[in-house]
Structure 1
Amino acid sequence: MDAGNTQAFDACLREALAQTREWVPRWLGKLHSSLKDRELSAGQLSEKQGMLQARTTLESHRDLIATRFLAALAESMENALPHTGSGSRRSPTVSFDELELMGDDQVQETVELARVQQVVKMAVDEELVTLTSRLNGAQGLTVVNPDANPLRAEVIVAALMTALKGLHVPAAVRTRWLQVGAIALGDDLRHMYAHLSQQLDRAGVKPAGYVVTQTVTSRQTAAASAQKEEAVSVQEVLVNDNLLTLDHLHQLLVGNLDLNAKSDNSTAVSDNVMGRTLASEVVTLMLKRIAADERLLEPVRNMLQDMKPALLQLARAEPRFFADKQNPARRLLDAITERSLAFTNELDPGYGPFSNQVRGIVRTLLKPGDDLADRFPGLLAELNRSQAAAVAPAQVQARGLAVQTLVRVEQRNLLAERVAAEIRARNDFEKAPGVVRRFLTGPWSQVLAQARLEVSDASPVSPADSPALRYSDILPDLLWSSQLALASLNRPRLVKVIPGVLRTLREGLDSIDYPREKAESFFQALMGLHEAAYKTQRSEPAPHEDPPSVQHELDDEPWMQRTEARDSCLMDDTFPDAPNTQISTQPAFLETRPLQRDWADLKAEMAGQGAQALPVGTWVDVLQDGQAMRWQITWASPHGTLFLFTGANGRSLSMTKRGLERLLEQDRLRVVAHHGVVDEALDEVARQAWINSSKS
């Protein structure tokens, strides 16, 4: 983003807040008038009283609403920017798992939010497209990214909802405000968007372009799909799109529908029919979403679609099977899609046996019979056994050794941080030269941490024989001997302590396999300090020393010995002491993958959440030697400083957190999937229900 566009972008956001201060009071006035008109024209007493309550409550809260709305909008605009890393990139819908945990009132509130957003979006659609293009251009984007518009309609509506939810008013009052004021809100936003677009145009901001993506479907594929659909009964495919609303889906998930009705009770029978119809629609939409997921190879997607008749049949008997993650059918779907993410090509090792097994699963499920539900546990167990058997025992042992090594590395590094803090707290630390301070809080803290861990693991030894004690005991002599002003005053002591200090330092560094070239570099600097102190006469003033300066001793890269790097299968070019490694010279991904998350988002999350930002189970592509390799995070250290990856062939690869960040920053690591494919497909089902609710 150049300076001119940056100024135009910032000026646009400031103008948006200024405009909002003007139209919010005006919108509240329109809302008040509309409520009064609705009150006068209401035909029923309950409706008239409801509008009266909404109007009188608005009168006493107008100033507070305006103040909170502006504050919430300013915060939402900041969080909505992609570079902040704190805002959500998705529309404020609701996930499948969240919906199951929500109460009826929360569902209704979500539905109202959806309806308001739908009304507002319809009112501002044309102006919003223009503004988004201009704002994207101001941010230096050449292709439009709607999420990069911090003034998009859902952000504005979400800020309004935040402001209203903070008021102590009845939910029915808030609902009436939203219902009655939605159209006027859209009108005011449309005028503001048009004004801001004109401002950016006058500032010379060029709009970003929109890319139209066309999906090509061959006639053969379409014909095959049609044949598959014909094999399913009419009742299974003719589902009412409008039936799947958030409220109906919520009732299905929490069990409010009587799905086991066998009596003549008309209500129970109606619930039974509705529940099974809803379940069928969920399964259909879920499979439709999976069929469009290009992270899975096309043959795998086709085989999953072949399972549709069996899953629809199961939905009639167990309408909520897809919501229960412990249900064998749901677990089988998870296992198949999870394993399939490991393969990027049909020629990948292991794909052939996996594909054959999935075909066998499909054939078993499509066999006629009333025991369908009973087949899933056995198929799941067999799939898990075959996947475990596909990994060579040597690779299992290597992974176990890698985990043990990484646990030890993190323990030592955490202890080394505490040791470094103890050293910094010494009275004689700050006066020492910077080269000595950096050494003590870096490599030597690792030496002390290693020695302390070995003492705790070994049988009790006498204090005099403890390396940890000897390594600590040299600190006073080392710090004293490195200070010219002090050491030059007592040359006999200097001559006496130097051999023991150097001998102990070498012993300690050898205990952690510290690189010899780095050790020699430090010893040369230290001996230079000793020589200067020895040559300085008592009658002479000590050579001028620079005052202590702030040193950056801390390094967020965990120290790892070369043997530990080997045992943990550490990626070579993420190891700081690996020779001749230049990460920046490696080729980056040439094309933007649609599932890649913004680097700033990931880095901010990793800084605040550690391993949780890229949780265990995440699939990634890593560029090594110019080729993209698919890996899954199968283990993360408790403090999120180390990660272990496993490939489709069972190989292991470890990285430090800093190494992982470097690969992300260099565009050599791309996130393929954070969550399960089935989870994401069901979230899309919930999103469709959210959209349907907004239109109902």
Structure 2
Amino acid sequence: MSSAPSLLDQCFDRVLREAPALLGRSLNATVAALQDAENQSREVAQRSLLARAWFSLERQRNPLTAQFPLRLQQAFQRGDHDGPTSSMGRMSDSSLLALVDDDSVNESLEAARMLQALLPVVEQSLSMVDARMSSLIGLDTVHAEKNPLRPSVFVRTLRDLMAERESDPQLRSLWMQKIVAPLAKELSQLYGQVALMLQQARVQEAGYRIRLVADGSPQSATHLSTRGWLEEGSPSERAGLTPSREGLDTPAPPMSLRMKDLARTQTPLQHEVLQAFMAGEQAVFDHPLDNAYFEQVRQELHHVDLLARLPQPAPEELEQERTRYRDLPAVERPARPVDVASPLDADQWGDYAAPHERTRVLLELKHQADKVSQAVGLDVVRKLVNQVSGDPLLLAPVREAVVALEPALLRLAMAEPRYFSRGDHPARLWIEAVAQRSFRYNDEFSPGFEAFFEPVRAQVRSLNDSGSVEAGPFASALDELKAQWASDDEAQEQRRQRQLQALNFAERRQELADQIAWEISHRPDLYDAPAIVLDFLYGSWSLVIASAELQHPGKGPDPFGYRKVIGHLLWSTRSQVTLRQPSQLFQIVPGMLMTLRQGLESLGQSPDETRTFFDALLKLHEPVLRLRRARARVDGHATALTPEVSESEQQALATLLAPASPEQQKPTPREQPWIGARELASAGFSETMPLTSSEASEAAEVVEAFAEIAVTTDADVNTDAVEPAMLLARMTTGTWVDLYSGGEWLRAQLVWSSQKASLFMFNSLGGRTHTMTRRSCEKLMAKRWLRLVETRPVMARALNQVVTAEAATEAQ
């Protein structure tokens, strides 16, 4: 391959160009993770160690990013090999075995753990690079351990480089622990770019070699054998990969399959064969089926006829099993078992509710098959249906729907045996869409779930009745469901957008207000200002200025004179000055008060909320007012009059006039944005907690918003659960949770969180909104009243489990 060296060099160049930025972003995230860990740690020694770790990494960041590409280039030029590996196993796992066998990596257990944690994240994109890179370097089959860009090269290079820059093994260990997640994300994206380069260069994926060989009875059956995973001359190969010459019906050799087995309802397909089939291997799978196969199919059909004569479960028994755990809380119910052999309710699922009727469709289609690919395709469909039906994340009716849909799914395999390997196939998209939509619900008995599921149930019966071998009916059904869901979501989505706009505006306003407060704190006339005035300026008035500037960006830097009034306010509170210039104060105060009240009203603060400040302001102006009243009672020619003030009033005034302490002179950024009651009401918040940061108010939040939550004993609290802070760190926009509120468990979705992760907004069915602070979330999690719900792509996981060794192991 004359172009291979040039293209390989291009891949190396691309990686080396991306390496500095890739590592830089990973180190930034690592420093942040170490700082977060330091803030959350309660042990002094651990905090000190974490502080040393992030400070040292901060110092070494530039040298590490500068030297990383050079060290990678040296590793590429050396053609580092990780040592001998077993060729059995998944493509990406061979990199792990290679790394563990490398002497240099064995010196650091942390590096091995790092690779183990990294591999699952990069596996999908890495597998594409493994396949095409093996082809690029001249290999016929995939050899992940020979991929020059395998993760172990990056891990080993980074480990060695860190060891040179930092002598303390404890610090290096912390670095490697915290860099795993960001590095895995960066490498996954890098492998995706490399795979795209190779694909655009038309580099074909290396695959598996499959061949048909005769078994002990060459006249009646053939073997489907997989080659490429056994070492040359291995005991397994010597034991039976070659055909028997004695003509005896010996057991099938490892990784082989007889034609008769393809005719059964439960075919023992090895995962290597399935991998090759789903990867598009053609030669072997296009082989025609033989007479032994069709004879076995007829025997299997006769067995199904016998099963059909057996009594079926009564509808009452099925209903009793379905409602067995109905009285338990939704989050405590065990997953009801469902698989391809499960009897279903005929009233709900029609003619194919009985398992033998679904099996009959499978065998009749096998009897119509012409090629090995069609028979294997039918087996893949059944295996996938069985895999999805056992997914514990899905409610039992959703899993029943997939089982009931098996006849329609099987028919598609006759025209396109490998259709499930296509991520854009309508049947696969239909199942995935229904599964993802079902994550909105946690109770199969709720009216909301039944309203969602009835159209799904109707479509399952319609698709089965269509008898089509084409994907068109699935595409139409999916479009119909999406249109209905979009109509149902329209009103809620508009409401959600208003809520998000209100929260995003509040966050931007708070960020700008914090900046304005910082600017105010540097004013020269702020010296000796009373604390209550500074609190007002740093809090409410900064928000007023920020709100005006965000809402009226085209009206200049000070649209309504809100910044200008700060100087008047500070001057008016200095009694030692205003007593000498009372007339100037009387000219300033009316306009100043009007501006203050106008600004606070625009912010949505009621007079009750601001009464304390204005009462204090009136007392600050009281000396001048007393002076004016005194002047009115005496001769206007008097040059100096002192108003009479009681001792208690003088003490109260002195306290009020006391200048702010050094701590009070510095503004403190709020942990969460301030949101006014009017904004909350206009956004449609139905269940909102008070947004205060004090401990007393934080404790009241749970009581106020969850007043109807049942009281639990200490035994009800899962003390072994993951720390709430760690659970919160895993939450991102779109995360589903189960929330106990108002005496029921609600399925809610996180739709917004503040940049500081101090405020969260969830939406549950019916458009209900739940907004709470970080501390409230942690308290609810500690009580197990807020639980994260695991969600993931259903079809991709099922397909991966079907074609991997792990799925085969689980089935056994």
Normalising to structure 1: TM-score of the pair? 0.56
In structure 2, the CA distance between the partners of 1:70 and 1:552, relative to structure 1 (3 Å rule), is farther
How many percent identity over aligned positions?
27
Unmatched segments (≥5 aa) in structure 1 = 1-5, 14-37, 40-53, 80-86, 113-150, 166-178, 180-232, 265-271, 606-612
Tell me how far 1:471 sits from its aligned partner.
Answer: 0.8
Tell me how far 1:322 sits from its aligned partner.
Answer: 4.2
User: Is the 1:573–1:581 contact (alpha carbons within 8 Å) kept by the matching residues of 2?
Assistant: no
Which SS does the other structure have where 2:447 is aligned?
Answer: coil
User: Is the 2:412–2:469 contact (alpha carbons within 8 Å) kept by the matching residues of 1?
Assistant: no
Asked if residue 365 in structure 1 is aligned to residue 467 in structure 2, the reply is no
Task: Report the AA paired with residue 655 of structure 1.
Answer: T
In structure 2, the CA distance between the partners of 1:384 and 1:481, relative to structure 1 (3 Å rule), is same
In 2, Cα distance between the equivalents of 1:450 and 1:624?
Answer: 34
Which SS does the other structure have where 1:103 is aligned?
Answer: helix
User: Is the 2:405–2:463 contact (alpha carbons within 8 Å) kept by the matching residues of 1?
Assistant: yes
Tell me how far 1:366 sits from its aligned partner.
Answer: 2.3
User: Is the 1:481–1:494 contact (alpha carbons within 8 Å) kept by the matching residues of 2?
Assistant: yes
Task: Report the AA paired with residue 473 of structure 1.
Answer: K
In 1, Cα distance between the equivalents of 2:793 and 2:585?
Answer: 65
- The aligned residue for residue 258 of structure 1 is 282
In 1, Cα distance between the equivalents of 2:742 and 2:395?
Answer: 24
1:25-36 equivalences in 2 (<5 Å): none
User: Is the 2:531–2:658 contact (alpha carbons within 8 Å) kept by the matching residues of 1?
Assistant: no
Asked if residue 303 in structure 1 is aligned to residue 401 in structure 2, the reply is yes
Tell me how far 1:301 sits from its aligned partner.
Answer: 1.8
- The aligned residue for residue 549 of structure 1 is 663
Alpha-carbon displacement from aligned partner over 1:619-658 (angstroms, at most 9, x marks no partner): 2222222322222346778998876655444x24253664
- The aligned residue for residue 596 of structure 2 is 505
In structure 2, the CA distance between the partners of 1:311 and 1:470, relative to structure 1 (3 Å rule), is same
In structure 2, the CA distance between the partners of 1:499 and 1:671, relative to structure 1 (3 Å rule), is same
User: Is the 1:477–1:501 contact (alpha carbons within 8 Å) kept by the matching residues of 2?
Assistant: yes
- The aligned residue for residue 343 of structure 1 is 441
Tell me how far 1:427 sits from its aligned partner.
Answer: 4.0
In structure 2, the CA distance between the partners of 1:313 and 1:683, relative to structure 1 (3 Å rule), is same
In structure 2, the CA distance between the partners of 1:415 and 1:664, relative to structure 1 (3 Å rule), is farther
Task: Report the AA paired with residue 602 of structure 1.
Answer: L
1:122-133 equivalences in 2 (<5 Å): none
User: Is the 1:487–1:494 contact (alpha carbons within 8 Å) kept by the matching residues of 2?
Assistant: yes
User: Is the 1:314–1:372 contact (alpha carbons within 8 Å) kept by the matching residues of 2?
Assistant: yes
Match 2:769 to one of 649, 653, 660: 653
In structure 2, the CA distance between the partners of 1:482 and 1:680, relative to structure 1 (3 Å rule), is farther
1:103-252 equivalences in 2 (<5 Å): 103-104=130-131, 235=263, 237-240=265-268, 243-244=270-271, 249=275
1:383-402 equivalences in 2 (<5 Å): 383-390=481-488, 395=492, 397-402=494-499
Tell me how far 1:330 sits from its aligned partner.
Answer: 2.1
Task: Report the AA paired with residue 499 of structure 2.
Answer: A
User: Is the 2:506–2:673 contact (alpha carbons within 8 Å) kept by the matching residues of 1?
Assistant: yes
Tell me how far 1:380 sits from its aligned partner.
Answer: 0.4
Match 1:333 to one of 408, 431, 434: 431
User: Is the 1:615–1:674 contact (alpha carbons within 8 Å) kept by the matching residues of 2?
Assistant: no
In structure 2, the CA distance between the partners of 1:673 and 1:517, relative to structure 1 (3 Å rule), is farther
Asked if residue 562 in structure 1 is aligned to residue 677 in structure 2, the reply is yes
In structure 2, the CA distance between the partners of 1:306 and 1:568, relative to structure 1 (3 Å rule), is same
- The aligned residue for residue 352 of structure 1 is 450
Match 1:518 to one of 590, 609, 633: 609
- The aligned residue for residue 513 of structure 2 is 416
User: Is the 2:531–2:661 contact (alpha carbons within 8 Å) kept by the matching residues of 1?
Assistant: no
Tell me how far 1:662 sits from its aligned partner.
Answer: 6.4
User: Is the 2:382–2:406 contact (alpha carbons within 8 Å) kept by the matching residues of 1?
Assistant: yes
In structure 2, the CA distance between the partners of 1:286 and 1:369, relative to structure 1 (3 Å rule), is closer
Tell me how far 1:333 sits from its aligned partner.
Answer: 0.9
Asked if residue 574 in structure 1 is aligned to residue 601 in structure 2, the reply is no
In 2, Cα distance between the equivalents of 1:426 and 1:309?
Answer: 77
Which SS does the other structure have where 2:749 is aligned?
Answer: strand
In 2, Cα distance between the equivalents of 1:369 and 1:569?
Answer: 48
In 1, Cα distance between the equivalents of 2:676 and 2:770?
Answer: 14
Alpha-carbon displacement from aligned partner over 1:261-313 (angstroms, at most 9, x marks no partner): 7589xxxxxxx988778766665554444333444332232122122343344
Say which one has the larger Rg. 2
Unmatched segments (≥5 aa) in structure 2 = 1-41, 50-82, 85-97, 135-141, 148-172, 188-230, 232-260, 289-369, 628-639, 643-649
Alpha-carbon displacement from aligned partner over 1:117-160 (angstroms, at most 9, x marks no partner): xxxxxxxxxxxxxxxxxxxxxxxxxxxxxxxxxx9xxx9xx99x
Asked if residue 446 in structure 1 is aligned to residue 519 in structure 2, the reply is no
In 2, Cα distance between the equivalents of 1:498 and 1:300?
Answer: 69
In 2, Cα distance between the equivalents of 1:412 and 1:304?
Answer: 49
1:430-509 equivalences in 2 (<5 Å): 432-456=529-553, 468-482=559-573, 493-509=584-600
Alpha-carbon displacement from aligned partner over 1:442-476 (angstroms, at most 9, x marks no partner): 222221122123323xxx76x7xx97341111112
In 2, Cα distance between the equivalents of 1:342 and 1:594?
Answer: 28
In 2, Cα distance between the equivalents of 1:694 and 1:397?
Answer: 45
Task: Report the AA paired with residue 103 of structure 1.
Answer: D
Alpha-carbon displacement from aligned partner over 1:487-533 (angstroms, at most 9, x marks no partner): 67765555543443333222111111114333112223444445579
User: Is the 2:573–2:621 contact (alpha carbons within 8 Å) kept by the matching residues of 1?
Assistant: yes
User: Is the 2:521–2:667 contact (alpha carbons within 8 Å) kept by the matching residues of 1?
Assistant: no
In 2, Cα distance between the equivalents of 1:592 and 1:680?
Answer: 32
In 1, Cα distance between the equivalents of 2:720 and 2:452?
Answer: 25
Asked if residue 626 in structure 1 is aligned to residue 750 in structure 2, the reply is no
Which SS does the other structure have where 2:465 is aligned?
Answer: coil
User: Is the 2:517–2:667 contact (alpha carbons within 8 Å) kept by the matching residues of 1?
Assistant: no
Superposed CA RMSD: 5.5
Task: Report the AA paired with residue 570 of structure 2.
Answer: L
In 2, Cα distance between the equivalents of 1:409 and 1:285?
Answer: 51
Tell me how far 1:672 sits from its aligned partner.
Answer: 1.9
In 2, Cα distance between the equivalents of 1:657 and 1:674?
Answer: 24
In structure 2, the CA distance between the partners of 1:411 and 1:661, relative to structure 1 (3 Å rule), is farther
In structure 2, the CA distance between the partners of 1:503 and 1:390, relative to structure 1 (3 Å rule), is closer
Match 2:789 to one of 669, 672, 676: 672
Tell me how far 1:399 sits from its aligned partner.
Answer: 4.1
1:265-344 equivalences in 2 (<5 Å): 283-284=381-382, 286-315=384-413, 317-318=415-416, 321-322=419-420, 324-344=422-442
- The aligned residue for residue 729 of structure 2 is 604
In 2, Cα distance between the equivalents of 1:526 and 1:520?
Answer: 10
In structure 2, the CA distance between the partners of 1:405 and 1:596, relative to structure 1 (3 Å rule), is farther
Normalising to structure 2: TM-score of the pair? 0.49
Which SS does the other structure have where 1:388 is aligned?
Answer: helix
In 2, Cα distance between the equivalents of 1:101 and 1:448?
Answer: 54
Tell me how far 1:555 sits from its aligned partner.
Answer: 1.6
Tell me how far 1:93 sits from its aligned partner.
Answer: 4.2
Tell me how far 1:377 sits from its aligned partner.
Answer: 0.5
Alpha-carbon displacement from aligned partner over 1:161-207 (angstroms, at most 9, x marks no partner): x9xx9xxxxxxxxxxxxx9xxxxxxxxxxxxxxxxxxxxxxxxxxxx
Tell me how far 1:423 sits from its aligned partner.
Answer: 2.9
Which SS does the other structure have where 1:372 is aligned?
Answer: coil
In 2, Cα distance between the equivalents of 1:549 and 1:281?
Answer: 73
Alpha-carbon displacement from aligned partner over 1:414-443 (angstroms, at most 9, x marks no partner): 443443343344344575444333332322
User: Is the 2:415–2:470 contact (alpha carbons within 8 Å) kept by the matching residues of 1?
Assistant: no
Q: State how many pairs are aligned.
A: 490
In structure 2, the CA distance between the partners of 1:628 and 1:111, relative to structure 1 (3 Å rule), is farther
| Structure 1 range deviating more: 302-311 or 394-403 | 394-403
- The aligned residue for residue 54 of structure 2 is none
Which SS does the other structure have where 1:326 is aligned?
Answer: coil
Task: Report the AA paired with residue 281 of structure 2.
Answer: L
